[in-house]
Amino acid sequence: AQSVAQPEDQVNVAEGNPLTVKCTYSVSGNPYLFWYVQYPNRGLQFLLKYITGDNLVKGSYGFEAEFNKSQTSFHLKKPSALVSDSALYFCAVRDPNNNDMRFGAGTRLTVKP
Amino acid sequence: EAGVTQSPTHLIKTRGQQATLRCSPISGHTSVYWYQQALGLGLQFLLWYDEGEERNRGNFPPRFSGRQFPNYSSELNVNALELEDSALYLCASSFGANYGYTFGSGTRLTVV
C-alpha triplet B84, B45, B101: angle, nearest 5°: 130
- Start-end of H helices in chain B: none
Cβ atoms < 10 Å from Cβ of A109: 22
* Residue B66 · residue B47 · CB < 8 Å: yes
Residue range B93-107, pLDDT digits in tens? 988 766 788 999 999
Split at pLDDT 50, 70, 90, the class of A96 is confident
Distance to chain A for B15, nearest Cα, Å: 24
Task: Tell which phi-psi region holds residue B49, choosing left (phi > 0), alpha (psi between -120 and 50) or beta.
Answer: beta
Helix (H, G, I), strand (E, B) or coil at A1: coil
* Residue A31 · residue A95 · CB < 8 Å: yes
Distance to chain B for A52, nearest Cα, Å: 10
Nearest Cα neighbor of A48 from A38, A37, A59 is A59
The answer to whether residue B63 scores a pLDDT higher than 60 is yes
H or E segment at A15? none
Split at pLDDT 50, 70, 90, the class of B26 is very high
The answer to whether residue A41 scores a pLDDT higher than 80 is no
Output the average pLDDT for chain B. 92
- Alpha carbon distances (Å) from B56 to A85, B33, B46: 34, 9, 8
Burial class (CB in 10 A: 0-12, 13-18, 19+), A44: buried
pLDDT of residue A76: 98
In this complex, the residue of B41, B55, B101 whose CB is nearest that of residue A101 is: B101
Q: Inter-chain contact A100–B33, Cβ cutoff 8 Å?
A: yes
The answer to whether residue A99 scores a pLDDT higher than 80 is no
Asked if A75 is an interface residue toward chain B (Cβ–Cβ < 8 A), one would say: no
What is the gyration radius of the CA atoms in chain B, in angstroms? Answer: 13
